[in-house]
Structure 1
Amino acid sequence: MKKKYRYKDIVDYLKDTNLTTVEELVRALNVSPATIRRDLIDLENQGVVRRTHGGVTLNSFVATQLSVQEKNQLFKAEKERISKAAAGRVESGSSIILDAGTTTMEIAKNITHLPLRVITPDLRIALFLSEFKQIEVTMFGGEIDNASQSCVGEHARRLLQSIHTDIAFISSNFWSFEHGVTTPKEAKTALKIDMIGCAEESILVVDSSKYDSFSLFKVAELEQFSEIYTDDGLEKDIREKLKYLNVKLHFM
């Protein structure tokens, strides 16, 4: 079994059990104890799980964010389904914001056939879309956040405060019914708030593995988004709870 699939299976197992042990994971995934221990060390370093004397549990509060390279390895198939569906909301000739992130990068790959104006803080998205002549790309500019390889800071905020776009696609590592969308960095929080504020409608694109985790700074309540695109990995009771929100939900 490939490492990324084991990661997903470990996270899914912890969502069901809340607390587990190496021995239980060995039986559930049918792999060696050494493999499980290595995976748990990797996931703990990424801030996904927390190891305790009693075993291992999901890390509900996350103080830091994963690097782009780390995020690229996780839940790739889910991100591809989410992004393909969300890209269907983009119409020819429209102006959109693509937030920094691996899911929004996948959206970029699905809109290259359209004439568009795209505004993004993400260096990789900007470079990728600049290869297509029918797409006008604008970078936010400003200080570079190394973890996300994207622009943050007051220079980026000034640009956002002077424009109005059709759709803002917002990504997040942390979302929940109770806490909404949160981030570990104040600068990124302010930028996401501005992205939501300057768009006619904002759409949250986020995979289910990030659900029920939160960080220090609040970006928005889930009801501030017009639509949420996620994958079908959420438990039935969570889906039912989310349906109480006045938001159009898509489970891909």
Structure 2
Amino acid sequence: MYQEERLVAIVDYLKEHNRITTERICTLLQVSRDTARRDLVKLEEQNAIIRTRGGAILPSVHQKIQGYSGRLKTVSEEKNKIGKLAASLIQNGDRVILDASTTVQACAKHLNADDCTVITNSINLAEVLSDKDGIEIYLLGGKLEKEHRFLYGASVIEKLSSYHVDKALIGVVGISEHGITIEHEEDGLVKRKMIQQAKQVIALADYSKLGSTGFYQYAELSEIDLLITDRLPDRAFCDLFDLNGVELLVTDQDERKG
């Protein structure tokens, strides 16, 4: 086997298992320890791996979060289904908090409840709801985050503390054993307060967010009552949600759990 083929095999193994030892390379590729070390050096020079004592790991990948307008253009069918299912849970007369995520905005587009009060820090979401009859809108005033289109700051958090609602619908960047996470602390602080003011907390996350961990943790898993997603997670994730009392609702009727 040529070195180029071995390098591809090592990276493929890392993508599946996250780490590899020198001994594993020797067994997997039937090469000597010296050859395995040379291969790791080559991959390190290509910035494809990070060498560790006795082996290697893949470098962390931090994806830049698109601005709100860019994310709206790429709202997937999965997000739309999640939003539609979430909207069906909002009943006539409910008082709800909706955050500034694009998945929650998808919920707002499908919202048909009457005599419903919505509190939000999203100027886009408020505009969507302004065309709907029977919905009273409270737009939280604060500093505008221009790129991501949400209002934040001490005034938003202080105002939120005056409201007590039936449900809070929250979008996430990451949901894992590390809890619920987001990339922007300012947004996270507002979401944390939203969670505290609701009787029921509903998180909306497409399958790609499961297992991902963002920069700032704003809630523990146990603070979420219900997660709406588009695909049934694996057994380990289902067990994790059960352990933390999180009910799971999947957009595919055949895959609902809980």
Partner AA of 1:207 in structure 2: D
Structure 1 CA distance for aligned equivalents of residues 75 and 131 of structure 2: 27
Partner AA of 1:193 in structure 2: R
Correspondence for 2:218: 219
Correspondence for 1:244: 243
Larger displacement relative to structure 2 (238-247 or 165-174): 238-247
* Mapping 1:154-173, distance limit 5 Å: 154-173=154-173
* Mapping 1:119-130, distance limit 5 Å: 119-130=119-130
Which structure: larger Rg?
A: 2
* Mapping 1:25-104, distance limit 5 Å: 53-54=47-48, 62=62, 65-74=65-74, 76-104=76-104
Correspondence for 2:254: none
SS in 1 for 2:96: strand
* Mapping 1:163-202, distance limit 5 Å: 163-176=163-176, 178-202=177-201
Distance 1:59 1:219, change over 3 A: farther
Correspondence for 2:108: 108
SS in 2 for 1:71: helix
Correspondence for 1:140: 140
SS in 2 for 1:243: helix
Where does structure 1 lack aligned partners over 5 or more consecutive residues?
1-12, 20-51
SS in 1 for 2:243: coil
Structure 1 CA distance for aligned equivalents of residues 218 and 154 of structure 2: 17
Partner AA of 1:140 in structure 2: L
Kept in 2: contact 1:62–1:214 (CA 8 A): no
Deviations 1:180-231 (A, max 9, x none): 1112222212111110011111111111112222223211111111111111
Correspondence for 1:22: none
Structure 1 CA distance for aligned equivalents of residues 142 and 183 of structure 2: 19
Kept in 2: contact 1:65–1:147 (CA 8 A): no
Distance 1:194 1:241, change over 3 A: closer
Deviations 1:52-103 (A, max 9, x none): 7439x99866485321233234461111111111112111011101111111
2:225 maps to 1:231: no
Q: TM-score, normalising length from structure 1?
A: 0.72
SS in 1 for 2:248: strand
Kept in 2: contact 1:119–1:139 (CA 8 A): yes
Partner AA of 2:119 in structure 1: I
| Displacement after TM superposition at 1:168 (Å) | 0.4
Distance 1:161 1:112, change over 3 A: same
Q: TM-score, normalising length from structure 2?
A: 0.71
State percent identity of aligned pairs.
27
Correspondence for 1:8: none
Larger displacement relative to structure 2 (60-69 or 88-97): 60-69
Distance 1:174 1:60, change over 3 A: farther
